[in-house]
Structure 1
Amino acid sequence: MAEREQDTDLRSRLVDAGVELVDEQGVGALSLREIARRAGVSHGAPRRYFPTHLSLLSAIARRGFEGLAAQAGAAIATHEGEPREQLTALAHSWLDFALTNRGMFELMFRHDLLESNHLGLRETSLPLFATLVDLVARARPDSGAEPRIVAGALWANLHGIAQLWGWGSLQLAVGVDGPRPLLRAALDAHLGPEVR
């Protein structure tokens, strides 16, 4: 039993080290050697717990999805029963997470990680998208549009805003001080103007 606890502890330390590293230096810094160094183990130790580099990166990305889901869930809960307001809260929390956790956000949506589905990464990411689909369906019940397609377009729009804002491109192009007007425009574009 003690050995199992030690294994769990070391596995967790490796993931913690990876989370810290991606937060500080970005995705490019996530080498097995550097993660092992930060965790205080030999450079070969990660292979004992994570057979491939992708499996360790997936474990780190999973933490990101868990953090984003918790943040989005808390934001949605503040507007119980109001789908448009919940979608707005979700969009704001998504963008806030993306801009404050740029390296993690980039890692989380890497196609190779999601496609490989190490550690069930898709099962961690898809519920958040399902929440987006559900909110779109409830916000536009009579639109006739497929909620999954509208949610996908909105999701792509949110990612684009996050990426272009993070690069500084949108500020130059549209001349706004913050991304909130862009989020409002994206929601209006995909859901129709808000009726007050």
Structure 2
Amino acid sequence: MSEIKDRPYHHGDLRRALIDTALDMLATNQNWTFTLREVARRTGVSHAAPYKHFHDRETLLRELARIGFVQLGESLTEAVSLGQPSTRAQFVAAAQACIGFACQNPGLYRLMFSSDADKTIDPQLHDAAMSTFGILLDLLERGQRDGSFRPIAVSALAAASWAQVHGLAMLAINYQLLEEKVGSTPVPTALDVLLDGMCRSD
């Protein structure tokens, strides 16, 4: 495990302190193989202390994923509210924000879409993920209303959009967008191809 500075815990919000420590560990090591005991040690509390707030390691991981979706949602919301001249431009800004978030938080992004972030057993995680996905749906629906996007099932547009953007994000954080394979500007080029298929031609 890479060296991470311990967070001596003195008083205050223990739950928040444990989460912050775990987020630091996730950001440093880009994986979530740590144990609750290790999180407790680095926070400066007894190994039993985390169990006051998290039933097990998986509960903590799902909370980290929930936080990730909230942060991603905030990034998307900011991206689409910057006064772009068209819905298409807003879509590009949101897509780039998603990919940027993944590149800045690769470990967290991978966790958010891993089997350890099981949304079927955590309503709060499910709600956070769906709220973030709702930003995409709202953008697509607005694009259909103003004539920017094709008048087909919004679920089809959403599936194509999410597959493309999430795929680009995963390729980016795995360093697989190699120029010899996909050119020097793979993200804008791929988004143009996607949008040419989504936008009305009339």
Same fold (TM over 0.5): yes
Counterparts of residues 69-84 of structure 1 (less than 5 Å): 69-79=73-83, 82-84=86-88
Q: Report the Cα distance in structure 1 between the residues aligned to 2:137 and 2:84, rounded to whole angstroms.
A: 16
* 1:89-130 deviations in Å (ceiling 9; x for gaps): 110100100111100101112244233443610111111111
Letter in 2 for 1:45: A
* 1:55-92 deviations in Å (ceiling 9; x for gaps): 11111112211211111111111136842222111101
3-state SS of 1:27 partner: coil
**Aligned-pair CA distance for 1:21:** 0.9
Relative to structure 1, is the Cα distance of residues 52 and 194 closer, same or farther in structure 2, using a 3 angstrom cutoff?
farther
| Higher helix residue share | 1
> Mean Cα displacement is larger for which, 57-66 or 90-99?
57-66
Q: Report the Cα distance in structure 2 between the residues aligned to 1:40 and 1:186, rounded to whole angstroms.
A: 49
**Aligned-pair CA distance for 1:166:** 2.1
> When the two structures are superposed, what TM-score results if normalisation uses the length of structure 2?
0.82
Q: Report the Cα distance in structure 1 between the residues aligned to 2:129 and 2:94, rounded to whole angstroms.
A: 15
Q: Is the 8 A contact 1:72 1:94 kept in 2?
A: yes
Task: State percent identity of aligned pairs.
Answer: 31
Relative to structure 1, is the Cα distance of residues 12 and 27 closer, same or farther in structure 2, using a 3 angstrom cutoff?
same
> Mean Cα displacement is larger for which, 31-40 or 120-129?
31-40
3-state SS of 2:184 partner: coil
**Aligned-pair CA distance for 1:28:** 3.3
Counterparts of residues 45-124 of structure 1 (less than 5 Å): 45-79=49-83, 82-118=86-122, 120-124=124-128
Relative to structure 1, is the Cα distance of residues 42 and 187 closer, same or farther in structure 2, using a 3 angstrom cutoff?
farther
Counterparts of residues 155-174 of structure 1 (less than 5 Å): 155-171=162-178, 172-174=180-182
Q: Report the Cα distance in structure 1 between the residues aligned to 2:108 and 2:181, rounded to whole angstroms.
A: 26
> Mean Cα displacement is larger for which, 138-147 or 49-58?
138-147
Relative to structure 1, is the Cα distance of residues 194 and 15 closer, same or farther in structure 2, using a 3 angstrom cutoff?
farther
Q: Is the 8 A contact 1:165 1:179 kept in 2?
A: no
Q: Is the 8 A contact 1:84 1:135 kept in 2?
A: no
Letter in 1 for 2:131: P
1:39 paired with 2:47, answer no
Q: Is the 8 A contact 2:27 2:105 kept in 1?
A: yes
Of 194, 198, 202, 1:186 maps to: 194
Q: Report the Cα distance in structure 2 between the residues aligned to 1:23 and 1:90, rounded to whole angstroms.
A: 23
3-state SS of 1:113 partner: coil
**Structure 1: which 5+ residue stretches go unaligned?**
1-5
Q: Give the superposed CA RMSD.
A: 2.4
3-state SS of 1:41 partner: coil
**Aligned-pair CA distance for 1:160:** 0.7
3-state SS of 1:115 partner: coil
Q: Report the Cα distance in structure 2 between the residues aligned to 1:101 and 1:129, rounded to whole angstroms.
A: 18
Q: Report the Cα distance in structure 2 between the residues aligned to 1:28 and 1:185, rounded to whole angstroms.
A: 35
